Amino acid sequence: MTVTELLSYEAALASFDPVMGLEVHVELGTKTKMFCGCSTELGAEPNAQTCPTCLGLPGALPVVNEIGVESAIKIGLALHCEIAEWCRFARKNYFYPDMPKNFQTSQYDEPIAFNGYLDVQLEDGEVFRVEIERAHMEEDTGKSTHIGGATGRIHGASHSLLDYNRAGIPLIEIVTKPIVGAGDRAPEVAKAYVAELREVIRSLGVSEARMDKGQMRCDVNLSLMPKGSETFGTRSETKNVNSLRSVERAARFEIQRHAAVLESGGTIVQETRHFHEDDGSTTSGRIKDNAEDYRYFPEPDLVPVAPAREWVEELRKGLPELPRVRRNRLREEWGVSEQEMQSILNAGAVDPIVATIEAGADAASARKWWMGELARNANEKAVSLEELPITPADVARVSTTSWPARSSRASSPARAPRTRSSRSAV
Ligand code: ADP
Ligand code: MG
Ligand code: ZN
C-alpha cells in the first residue's frame, strides 16, 4: 500500500476548519422488497429471492411497497423534516454488474423528506445540532463476490459471482447539510450523529440498523477550509464505513490527509475513497461522477407518491418518544449522571434496565445487575446483554429476593445460565 502523508491532527486543526457531510444508508426491515414481492430474508441461497422486476427483465413493472413509504415518512418526521406533498422516484443511470436494471430506482430532486435536524449529544454533554438536507427512498444493489484475488477485491480476481437477493431491498438515504463549526470535534460529531441516528431508526422499529450486518452504512464526506475562510474546499467521500468507531477514524484520517496535501501546496481530487479497518487509513477509489453523469430522469413506470396529510399527521402522532428525550427522562428518573447514562447506553443496557424495572425491580438494583455482573459476563462471552441467557424478569426476581445473610455470589444468575423464557426486553 502506498504511504499516505499525514499532518498531525493538532497541526491540521491549527490551520484548517473541517466541513463534513454524512450520507447514511439504512436498509429497512420490510418483509418484501421495495418494488416487488420478493422476500428480504437474509441467508437464502444466492438468487433464490428474485423475480423479473428485481432482475430488470424486459416488460416487468414495479409497484411501490407501502410499508417502505411509511417507514420513510416516519424517519423523516423523527428527524423533524418536512414531508413532501408529492414526490417522484427517479432513475439514476449507470452500469454495474450488481445492478441488473442498469439504473437504480432512487429519488433525486424530489425527496420524500427534507429540511430537518438531529440533535446529538457529545461526550462532555454538549448538544450539537446536525442539519438534515433530505431523506429519500431508493433500493439496494445486488452483491458481487470476487474470486481468486488476494484481498477479495476485484483487482487480481479471476471471476466474480453475483447474488441478486439484495437487489431491490428498500433503502432510505439520509443526507446531512454540510456540518461546519465542529472544529477538532468533527470526528466525534460524526460518530455521535451516526450513533444517535441508529437509536432513532431502532426506536421507530423500521430497521434493526445493525452496522455489522450492513443494515446501516455511512459515507463520510470531508473537506477543509483554511482558517478564516468560508469557502468550502474540495471534498473526498469515504464510502461504506460500517462501524461507529470507523466513522470517527475515517473523518480523523481524512482531516490529517487533506491537511498534508494542502499544506504542501497540492490539491484535493474529488473522489471516493475506501476505508481500511486494519490501520484506519483510506485509499483512493474512483473519480467522483457529477450528478449530470447519471442522467437522472423521473421514473416513468411508477406513479408519484403523494402521502395524504391525514396519514402524515397520524404517523406523527404515533411516533415514539425520541431516544434522546427518553434518555434524559430516564436519567432523571434513575438519578444518574450524564456520564453514567452514556456508559449505560454504550453497554446497550437502557432497554434491559427499563424492562427489569417494569418487572418489579428498583432502578438502582436493576442498574447494578446489568452494568455489573451481567455486563462483565457478556463482555467475557463477547455477546450483547440481550443475548445472555437471562431475562429482565429473571433479574427482577433475583434482585427482589432477600438472600440469607452472607449468601455467596456463586448463585449469580449469570454463572448459572437459565433457558430463555419470555423476553420482555425485545
Ligand atoms: P453525492 O451524490 O455526490 O454524494 P450528495 O449531495 O448526495 O452528493 O452528498 C454530499 C454530502 O456531502 C452531503 O452531506 C453534503 O452536505 C456534503 N458536502 C457537500 N459539499 C461538501 C464539501 N465541500 N465538504 C464537505 N462536505 C460536503
Ligand atoms: Mg453520495
Ligand atoms: Zn423481485
* DSSP per residue, 195-210: HHHHHHHHHHTS----
Strand locations in 143-235, DSSP E? 143-147, 159-163, 170-176, 216-226
pLDDT tens series, the chain, 426 aa: 457 899 999 999 999 999 999 999 999 999 999 999 999 999 999 999 999 999 999 999 999 999 999 999 999 999 999 999 999 999 999 999 999 999 999 999 999 999 999 999 888 889 999 999 999 999 999 999 999 987 778 888 999 999 999 999 999 999 999 999 999 999 999 999 999 999 999 999 999 999 999 999 999 999 999 999 999 999 999 999 999 999 999 999 999 999 999 999 999 999 999 999 999 999 999 887 677 789 999 999 999 999 999 999 999 999 999 999 999 999 999 999 988 998 898 888 999 999 999 999 999 999 999 999 999 999 999 888 988 999 999 999 988 876 665 544 444 444 434 444 443 433
Return phi, psi of residue 201, to 5°.
-60, -45
> Could you tell me if 418 and 390 are in contact, meaning their C-beta atoms sit under 8 angstroms apart?
yes
For the record, the C-alpha cell of 104 comes out as 437504480
> Could you tell me if 297 and 59 are in contact, meaning their C-beta atoms sit under 8 angstroms apart?
no
DSSP class of residue 410 equals: G
Ligand minimally distant from the alpha carbon of residue 222: 1
> Could you tell me if 157 and 146 are in contact, meaning their C-beta atoms sit under 8 angstroms apart?
yes
Ligand 2 centroid vs 178 CA: distance in angstroms?
13
Residues in the chain: 426
Q: Whose CA is nearest to atom 8 of ligand 1?
A: 291
Q: Whose CA is nearest to atom 1 of ligand 1?
A: 291
* 3-state DSSP assignment of residue 418: coil
Q: Whose CA is nearest to atom 6 of ligand 1?
A: 175
Ligand 1 site-directed mutation target among 235, 262, 296, most atoms within 8 Å of CB: 235
Question: Which residues surround the ion ligand 3 when the cut-off is CB under 5 Å?
Answer: 36, 38, 51, 53-54
pTM, full prediction: 0.89
Ligand 1 site-directed mutation target among 221, 225, 258, most atoms within 8 Å of CB: 221
DSSP string, 318-344: TPPPPHHHHHHHHHHHHT--HHHHHHH
DSSP class of residue 382 equals: T
Ligand minimally distant from the alpha carbon of residue 179: 1
232 lines ligand 1 (CB under 6 A): yes
CA–CA distance, 269 with 271 (Å, rounded to integer): 6
Please list the residues that pair with 117 across neighbouring strands.
131
Ligand 2 centroid vs 189 CA: distance in angstroms?
19
21 lines ligand 1 (CB under 6 A): yes
Closest by CA position to 52, among listed 92, 91, 101, 93: 101
Compute the radius of gyration of the chain from its Cα atoms.
24
CA–CA distance, 107 with 299 (Å, rounded to integer): 9
What's the Cα-to-Cα distance from 112 to each of 68, 119, 177, 412, rounded to whole Å? 11, 21, 16, 51
CA dihedral of residues 278, 281, 287, 292 (deg, nearest 10) = 90
For the four alpha carbons of 171, 215, 19 and 5, in that order, the dihedral sign comes to: negative
